[in-house]
Amino acid sequence: MITPGSLKKGDMIGIVAPARKIEEHEIAAFVAKIDEWGFRYKTGKHLYGSYHQFSGSDKERAADMQAMIDDKQVKAIICARGGYGSIRTLPLLDFSALGEQPKWIAGFSDITVYHAYINTFTGIETLHAMMPLNFSNNYDEESAETLRKALTGEKLEYSFSPHRLNTEGEAEGELTGGNLSMLLSLNGTAWFPDLRNKILFIEDVDEYLYHIDRIMMNLLHSGVFNKIKGLVCGGFTKMNDNDIPFGKNAEEIIAGITSKFNIPVCFGFPAGHQLKNKTLIFGRQTRLRVKEGTCSLKFNS
């Protein structure tokens, strides 16, 4: 895998909205933080556009992303927010310029589709990280600092609390994954990531518990858990249930399936649709350690 260059003072960050629309005031705090970090920024032509729920038509959103990919001044591209729509731009994009000038692509949630495509087809690492909208809404300074560190090439490693549902063990492999529902939408397509010998990260928000079970059954029967070397579960927040309860929470649903496999599984990693959203380097060789007293995730240099 290729690691994009580390950002230095004065480098340019591009901001695009490949999914749901966003307003200027919603990224003002992020713009201020970019200035504090010593970087410059430019925005996509249609960043504040509006086409139904999207920030522009598919062609307009793809054009903004393509312009940032091709722009040699831009050293990193940060997606303003998630929502839905990034997958509609994929067939319209040419990522070949990333091979000539690798640059960080950062975001989470709906941006999972970019992580999967870029990691798989360009061999370039990406950042699963908080987005500009999160600097105005659900902001956490510690999580923001992990994004800055990742962009500037500083070392990232995490220790976090054990969980009653964990499966102990150790594993090493490239980290990949993202939003569980978005991974389901890719399964069966050419864009679904190759999970052989990978450590898989998953998280989700505002889903019905039966739908989490349905996704896990899909991954089970498509052989995902026979391929991966470890599983890291982030936040499963704002889960919904029916009038007749499903009977298990999201973590229990996942553990009920993954505990049958001889892989380390940890729950409660501080990333996803929650206050703590620590940056993860997708495509990077990663060491996962799940023990009774502590859990750790370390990225190889």
Residue ranges covered by each domain of the chain: 12-152, 157-299
Query: Is the distance from CB of 52 to CB of 79 less than 8 angstroms?
Result: no
Residues constituting the chain: 301
User: Looking at the domain that runs over 12-152, which CATH code has it been given?
Assistant: 3.40.50.10740
- Regarding pTM above 0.95, the answer is yes
The CATH homologous superfamily to which domain 157-299 belongs is LD-carboxypeptidase A C-terminal domain-like (3.50.30.60)
- Which residues contact residue 221 at a Cβ distance below 8 angstroms, ignoring those fewer than 6 apart? none
Q: Residue 300: exposed, middle, or buried by beta-carbon count in 10 A (0-12, 13-18, 19+)?
A: exposed
| Cβ neighbours of 48 (radius 10 Å) | 17
Q: Residue 55: exposed, middle, or buried by beta-carbon count in 10 A (0-12, 13-18, 19+)?
A: buried
**Residue 286 has what pLDDT?**
98
**Local confidence pLDDT in tens for the 301 residues of the chain:** 999 999 999 999 999 999 999 999 999 999 999 999 999 999 999 999 999 999 999 999 999 999 999 999 999 999 999 999 999 999 999 999 999 999 999 999 999 999 999 999 999 999 999 999 999 998 999 999 999 999 999 999 999 999 999 999 999 999 999 999 999 999 999 999 999 999 999 999 999 999 999 999 999 999 999 999 999 999 999 999 999 999 999 999 999 999 999 999 999 999 999 999 999 999 999 999 999 989 999 999 8
- Same fold yes or no, 12-152 and 157-299: no
Largest CA distance in the chain: 56
**Residue 138 has what pLDDT?**
87
Comparing CA positions, the residue from 223, 201, 211, 212 lying closest to residue 269 is 201
- Eight-state DSSP code of residue 84: S
What kind and span of H or E run contains 210?
helix 209-221
**Residue 301 has what pLDDT?**
80
